[in-house]
Amino acid sequence: MPAGGRSIRTKQCLRIQRRLAALESELETTRERVRRLENTLREAVRTADDVSIGGPCSCGESLLLVRDRTLYCPECRYRRTV
Ligand SMILES: [Zn+2]
């Protein structure tokens, strides 16, 4: 094995560990953000008249909203009467 082999691998390993730690921290931040949004949205929908939330839209950018017997996506043009 070349003399530098081990230290190169150690450097790569440290880089991966740092990247992983950064991702874990990012994931935790995202989790908190989603939880806050869910709690806020649940209350906003509960107190709004005649609005409810359906499943995810096929565009993947939003959940569907149901209002006045119409299912619609606020992000794309999808709209359907229910
Ligand atoms: Zn959509």
Domain regions of the chain by residue span: 1-47, 50-82
Distance 26 CA to ligand 1 centre (A): 26
Phi-psi category of 29—alpha, beta or left, where left has phi over 0 and alpha has psi -120 to 50?
alpha
Distance 71 CA to ligand 1 centre (A): 11
Distance 51 CA to ligand 1 centre (A): 17
Distance 46 CA to ligand 1 centre (A): 22
Distance 11 CA to ligand 1 centre (A): 44
Both tokens of residue 43? 């209350």
Quick one: pLDDT band at residue 7, thresholds 50, 70, 90? confident
Per cent of the chain over pLDDT 90 is 80
Position 16, amino acid: I
Per cent of the chain over pLDDT 70 is 93
* DSSP-assigned states of every residue in 12-37: HHHHHHHHHHHHHHHHHHHHHHHHHH
pLDDT value at residue 50: 87
Is pLDDT at 2 greater than 80 in this prediction?
no
Residue with tokens 């009467």: 81
pLDDT value at residue 5: 62
Separation CA 27–CA 65 (nearest Å): 27
